[in-house]
Amino acid sequence: MIDVRGASAVALADGVRAGKWRARDVVDQYLDRIARLDPALGCYLLVDTAGAQRQADAVDAAQKAGRDPGPLAGVPLGIKDIFCTRGVETTCASKILRGFVPPYESTATARLGAAGAVALGKLNMDEFAMGSSTENSSAGPTRNPWSPAHVPGGSSGGSAAAVAASLCAGAIGTDTGGSIRQPAALCGVVGMKPTYGRVSRYGVIAFASSLDHPGPFGRTVEDAAALLEVMAGLDPLDATSIPQPVGAYRQAARAGGEGLGGVRLGVPTEYFQAGMDPEVEASVRAAIDELARAGAKIVPVSLPHTKYAIATYYLICTAEASSNLARYDGVRYGHRTAQARSLDELYAKTRGEGFGAEPKRRIMLGAYVLRAGYYEAYYGKALRARRKIADDFSAAFAACDAIVTPTSPVPAFKFGERSADPLQMYLADVYTVAPDLAGIPALSQICGLTQAGLPIGLQTIGPALGEEICFRVAGAFEARTDWHTRLPPEAAR
């Protein structure tokens, strides 16, 4: 039997498909690890033991009967609690959705399940995906497996930490301003945010509709590629999903091993400026040198509107959030206040009790942004800035095939270090928001450890529908380094 500590998802699936081990045994090992280790880490909001074992048995039965159990046969996955799962409580880590059991399945999780993957349970996150540290979860924070005093990043902190600690073989999350890549960087795993519309948002609880990107987490680049290949594709239930055929992501990840001859990598001057942690800068520069040694040509590029990215992002995401969160009113599902004498009081008390501080802050900001007479001054202007930021990338991609940057200006920070100051927290997204605004793919992978033993993330950004070049560059770096083989102390237990 395989030791699942540090195991890759595709290796586990290959073994199940070949009959070398049973999906049920793999799943039981993960369930056992969750039972032993998760109380200290807090990755899972809900563990669906019976459901996971049932799915695993079905995979084994298919394999035994000679039917194709799917490309992800028996791969135990953790599901960010933003994805609706039929019959399994889905809360977005919010008190306002406590007890909500969706009667439908998100397209992404449905496709993963159909490919043989097994959902272990629901992972912790910042409430409604609003945050960069998982400190905003109504269920309490998730701890970073590399150091329990540090945050795992956010909002998909549970997903990144669970993969890092081998509490699942892969995970899925969502990225609105960096919520896949920043926790992937802080936990030392691979996180991929694909092109907007590449993965359906149906059944993914909306935070900021025009910015929400579902995507995978993997221990390796190929693992993330394998998950994305299954999740991606046109969905008739999402009018913004895109029809282009899904690329050969796994093949692209493996092709990286053959070097990066002919690939031009852009390095944006605006991303290496004041405020960056020196250890992060040193590691990322060393990674870029490694990519050059792999055959890539390094070219300087400019993304001049980067300085507007954070302001633009917070105007758009708060406006859309204030709208998307209007439906939580206590009338149909989720939390409802115990006592209300009128409809208005029902709304006020239900929402006052059900939402945490950060959703409340963003609802108020968003309502302000959208109020009558100020649309042009705020939202309208933000949309124009967003276009400029996207144009920057288009111009840069005329001179390069992919762009490499740090993922986060700092490694994992300590609990409470930034949560007192929302603006400080918002700056954690400084390198990740621009690809969300432009809707283009970007991937984070580990490229080093600080002296304190905290991971450092390297971000590769591709043009629209350029997932393959992101996987190829990341695959090349992974093939030439061994950072991804380092396990956090928690995972080694």
Partner 1 sequence: MSVSNYEVVIGLEVHVQLATKSKIFSWSSAAFGAEPNTHTDPVCLGLPGTLPVLNRAAVDSAVRLGLAAGCTIRTRCRFARKHFFYADLPKGFQISQFDEPICDGGAIKFRLHGEPRTVALTRIHLEEDTGKNIHAAAGVSFVDYNRAGVPLCEIVSEPDIRSAEEAAEYVRAVRSLVRYLGIGDGNMEEGSLRCDANVSLRVAGAAAYGTKAEIKNMNSFKNVRDAIEHEVKRQASLLDRGERVAQETRLWDPARGVTQSMRSKESAHDYRYFPEPDLPPLVVTEAELAAFRESLPELPEDRFARYTGPVGLSPQDAGVLVADHEIAAYFDAVVSAGAPPKRAANWVINEVLARAADPRQLGGADLPVPPPALAELVKLVEDGTLSGKLAKDVFTRMWTERRTAAEIVKAEGLAQVSDSAALEEICQRIVAAHPEEAARVAGNPKLIGFFVGAVMKETGGKGNPKAINEILRRLLGATTP
- Interface residue with partner 1, options 210, 302, 337, 481 (CB under 8 A): 210
H helical segments located in 165-208: 181-187
Q: Measured between alpha carbons, how far is 461 from 261 in angstroms, rounded to an integer?
A: 18
Based on the shown chain and the rule CB under 8 A, indicate whether residue 362 belongs to the binding site for partner 1. Answer: no
Q: Does 370 bind partner 1 (CB under 8 A)?
A: yes
Tokens 């802050």 belong to 361
Q: Which stretch binds partner 1 (CB under 8 A): 246-254, 284-292, 363-371, 483-491?
A: 363-371
**44-47 and 76-80 as β-strands: parallel, antiparallel, unpaired?**
unpaired
Min CB(372)–partner 1 separation in Å: 5
Exposure pattern of 343-372 as b/e (b: 16+ CB <10 Å)?
Answer: eeebbebbbeebbbebbbebbebbeebbee
What is the total count of residues that contact partner 1 (CB under 8 A)?
44
Of the pair 107, 419, the CB lying nearest partner 1 is at 107
The answer to whether 337 contacts partner 1 (rule: CB under 8 A) is: no
Under the binding rule (CB under 8 A), the answer on residue 367 touching partner 1 is yes
Handedness of CA 52, 9, 74, 248 (dihedral sign): positive
112 binds partner 1 (CB under 8 A): no
Return d(Cα 267, Cα 236) in angstroms, integer: 38
**Distance between CA atoms of 364 and 347, rounded to whole angstroms?**
15
Site membership for partner 1, residue 409 (CB under 8 A): no
Is residue 293 within the footprint of partner 1 (CB under 8 A)? Answer: no
First to last CA, the chain: 17
Q: Is 332 in the site for partner 1 (CB under 8 A)?
A: yes
Q: What is the contact mask toward partner 1 in residues 216 to 255, using x (rule: CB under 8 A)? A: --------------------xxxxx---------------
Segment interacting with partner 1 (CB under 8 A) among 259-267, 274-282, 298-306, 366-374: 366-374
Closest CA to 171 of 56, 90, 92, 77: 77
Residue 483 is a binding residue for partner 1 (CB under 8 A): no
Active-site annotation, residues:
80, 155, 179
Stretch that binds partner 1, among 52-60, 218-226, 330-338, 390-398 (CB under 8 A): 330-338
Give the Å distances, CA to CA, from 448 to 165, 386, 478: 17, 32, 11
Find the shortest distance in angstroms from Cβ 296 to partner 1. 36
Touching partner 1, residues 60-99 (CB under 8 A):
82-84, 90, 92, 97
**Contacts (Cβ under 8 Å, ≥6 apart) of 228:** 192, 194, 198, 199, 215, 216, 249, 467
Minimum distance from residue 239 beta carbon to partner 1 (Å): 5
Other C-beta atoms lying within 10 Å of the C-beta of residue 341: 8
By the criterion CB under 8 A, which residues form the site for partner 1? 82-84, 90, 92, 97, 100, 102-104, 106, 201-206, 209-210, 236-240, 319-320, 322-323, 325-327, 329, 331-333, 343-344, 347, 367, 370-372, 375, 379
